[in-house]
Amino acid sequence: MKEQLGVLLATVEKELLNVGFDQAPTSLYKPAEYLLNIGGKRLRPIVTLLGCGVFTNPLKAMPQALAVEVFHNFTLMHDDIMDDAPLRRGQETVHEKWNLNTAILSGDAMLVKSYQLLAQCEATILPELLSVFSETALQVCEGQQHDMDFETRSEVTEAEYIGMIQQKTSVLLGCAIKMGALVGGASADDAAKLYQFGLLLGTSFQIKDDLLDCFGDPEKVGKQVGGDIVSNKKTLLLIQALKTAKGDDAATLNAWINKKQFDPKEKVDAVKATYRNLEIEDFANTKMNFYFKRALKNLDDVSATPEQKKTLYAFADWLMKRDS
Amino acid sequence: MKEQLGVLLATVEKELLNVGFDQAPTSLYKPAEYLLNIGGKRLRPIVTLLGCGVFTNPLKAMPQALAVEVFHNFTLMHDDIMDDAPLRRGQETVHEKWNLNTAILSGDAMLVKSYQLLAQCEATILPELLSVFSETALQVCEGQQHDMDFETRSEVTEAEYIGMIQQKTSVLLGCAIKMGALVGGASADDAAKLYQFGLLLGTSFQIKDDLLDCFGDPEKVGKQVGGDIVSNKKTLLLIQALKTAKGDDAATLNAWINKKQFDPKEKVDAVKATYRNLEIEDFANTKMNFYFKRALKNLDDVSATPEQKKTLYAFADWLMKRDS
């Protein structure tokens, strides 16, 4: 499995160099090329190729895989402006390295480019590809808006949080695999099941991300853990803690959330101590597994042989067992 | 003609209220609704309908007409950020009324929405609609980038200027009419000729805009004239003046361009005096007519009866004779 993924990944990396950002005006396209080439796990394009690979040669869906990755990087470029983020993958963000206007306009061009890439398909499936892609793109915008709106709200429910991460992250995984499946010749029914598989896998993936940010091994995650705690980000962990904390735990949590001046390490340690009292890690792991199992159930129901689906099973397993 | 245009315009205005921006999250969609409803000439959607109307009922292309108008307003929302503009059509710009993040994200959603609208067509013409729309959208981004790049350059040639305004403005008129024509059932050849008609009409339209900004009647134009002169905008007028000015005129022009502190009215009067000496208005009128005639030649060559094309001829004529 790892070998096959390695081959697909290498092909994606190579093709990303040829999507057409190496042209004039360089002030418009160079930032897109830069952001695409400072790394990333390339999960989304891999998922598109694997979705296609259930039914035929995975590389047939390469344009759509690239479309999804270019789209994802467009959202990163604009989100980084909105979050005022100085770094992305350890490198300067585009609005820092260039300027605000460049990051806006170059991002816009990337969004258009993603449509050009996805349109490279047989005409018969274009309407459906376009439909799922545009609907997904709007949901991603809505998810980002909800994420920003949540920052200024005092209370967010678990259901609202799950809805937000599904819009902001998971629907794109659903869209990615569905587009691959459609290019591969999947029936509408199988394409819909694979969409659900991607959506639910993406949901458990995001909960895993929240867990790693809090409980991960800093050396393996590649960054200091506890960033979400420091910034009071309303993750599933904090939402559940605030919901269940009583007495001392509630007092500790609220005190740290409202403190303006603090030592970050001290805050992380204190909040994590209440998380341990409240068994938040177990809670989040249970939720993660709930979505993961529902994801696998949808994959089970896709009308293809176990042999055809085995790379997707292995990929899902690897994704959930990761420690970075 | 005026009556028919009035009916089409009223229908466009009504349909623009139903494109789907009246939904949640309102923090994302309300700004789009706001910008779409503070006015505008609606030239682009009218052109799409007229392109369709050469071959069939113009209203058949309503989704594509709306797509073009939503796309145009997306570019305005992002351009206003880049230009740091406080007002648009006499009203607060979105980033002023809300904030930067809202203007970025709401604009992104509008771009996606324009693709959803344009996709409402028969599947057989979707690939071509999508192709011309995406290519045009990239050109518009490139035009905006060139426009910003030109601001910091000391010299811009007439050819570079024409190329920039064609990308930033005219290609969208070409795209608008071509999409309408394709929806109406035009042959590839006629669609290409109508694209050229739109492109060249858009070019003369932009030169007319430059002329009105300098020589228009303030009461009719609805704003103080001379804004381009005050900001040293490298329009066709200034480019030609700098190219041909000698002796006193050259000295006057350069002095005013480099002056940091000045009375705007005094600068406008002084620069316009050199424009008169150099016969800049005649020059620009000649250029405008050159593109206008080439536009009409393309319309002449479209294989439809004069009766079918008469509204387009009348529209083009009205567009060039306008004084606002």
Tens-place pLDDT, residues B285-314: 999 999 999 999 999 999 999 999 999 999
Of B109, B130, B146, the CB nearest to A119: B130
User: A-chain residues within 8 Å CB-CB of B149?
Assistant: 25, 27
pLDDT value at residue B217: 84
Nearest 5 degrees, angle CA B5-CA B7-CA B13?
100
CB contact under 8 A, A145 and B27: yes
Q: Please tell me if residue A168 touches chain B, with a CB cutoff of 8 Å.
A: no
Tens-place pLDDT, residues B49-67: 999 999 999 999 999 999 9
pLDDT value at residue B270: 95
Residue B220 has pLDDT above 80, yes or no: no
pLDDT mean across residues, chain A: 95
pLDDT band (50, 70, 90) for residue B132: very high
CB contact under 8 A, B108 and A111: yes
Residue A177 has pLDDT above 90, yes or no: yes
Q: Please tell me if residue B116 touches chain A, with a CB cutoff of 8 Å.
A: yes
User: B-chain residues within 8 Å CB-CB of A127?
Assistant: 119, 123, 126
| Nearest to B122, CA basis, from B164, B69, B183, B186 | B183
Residue B146 has pLDDT above 70, yes or no: yes
Residue A2 has pLDDT above 80, yes or no: no
Residue B261 has pLDDT above 90, yes or no: yes
Domains in chain B, number = 1
CA distance to partner chain A, nearest, from residue B133 (Å): 9
Residue A126 has pLDDT above 80, yes or no: yes
Task: Name the percent of chain B lying above pLDDT 90.
Answer: 89
Which residues are CB-contacts of A139 (< 8 A; sequence separation ≥ 6)? A167, A171
Q: Please tell me if residue B122 touches chain A, with a CB cutoff of 8 Å.
A: no
Mean pLDDT of A191-201: 98
Residue B77 has pLDDT above 80, yes or no: yes
Token duo for residue B217: 């009647």
Token duo for residue A223: 């960054």
Tens-place pLDDT, residues B186-210: 999 999 999 999 999 999 999 999 9
pLDDT value at residue B152: 87
CB contact under 8 A, B138 and A116: yes
Residue B278 has pLDDT above 70, yes or no: yes
Cα(B131)–Cα(B149) distance, rounded to whole angstroms?
27
pLDDT mean across residues, chain B: 95
**Contact predicate A131/B91, CB 8 Å:** no
Q: Residues 86-115, chain B: which have Cβ within 8 Å of A?
A: 100-101, 104-105, 107-109, 111-113, 115
Count of alpha carbons within 13 angstroms of residue A127, beta-carbon side: 10
As a whole number of angstroms, the longest Cα–Cα distance in chain B is: 63
**Contact predicate B261/B294, CB 8 Å:** no
Instruction: Provide the CATH number for the domain around residue A236.
Output: 1.10.600.10
CA distance to partner chain A, nearest, from residue B152 (Å): 13
B69 is in which domain, residue-wise? 2-321
CB contact under 8 A, B145 and A105: yes
CA distance to partner chain A, nearest, from residue B27 (Å): 7
Token duo for residue B131: 């192709």
pLDDT value at residue B191: 98
Of A78, A119, A138, the CB nearest to B104: A78
Q: Residues 14-33, chain A: which have Cβ within 8 Å of B?
A: 25, 27-28
Cα(A78)–Cα(A254) distance, rounded to whole angstroms?
32
Mean pLDDT of B77-87: 94
Task: Name the percent of chain A lying above pLDDT 70.
Answer: 99
Residue B170 has pLDDT above 80, yes or no: yes
Asked if residue B25 has a cis previous peptide bond (ω within 30° of 0), the answer is: yes
CB contact under 8 A, A145 and B105: yes
pLDDT value at residue B39: 85
Mean pLDDT of B165-174: 96
pLDDT value at residue A1: 67
**Contact predicate A308/A55, CB 8 Å:** yes
CB contact under 8 A, A148 and B101: yes
CB contact under 8 A, B25 and A138: no
**pTM for the model:** 0.95
pLDDT band (50, 70, 90) for residue A138: very high
Mean pLDDT of A65-83: 97
- Could you give the 3-state DSSP secondary structure of residue B126? helix
Nearest 5 degrees, angle CA A156-CA A159-CA A163?
100
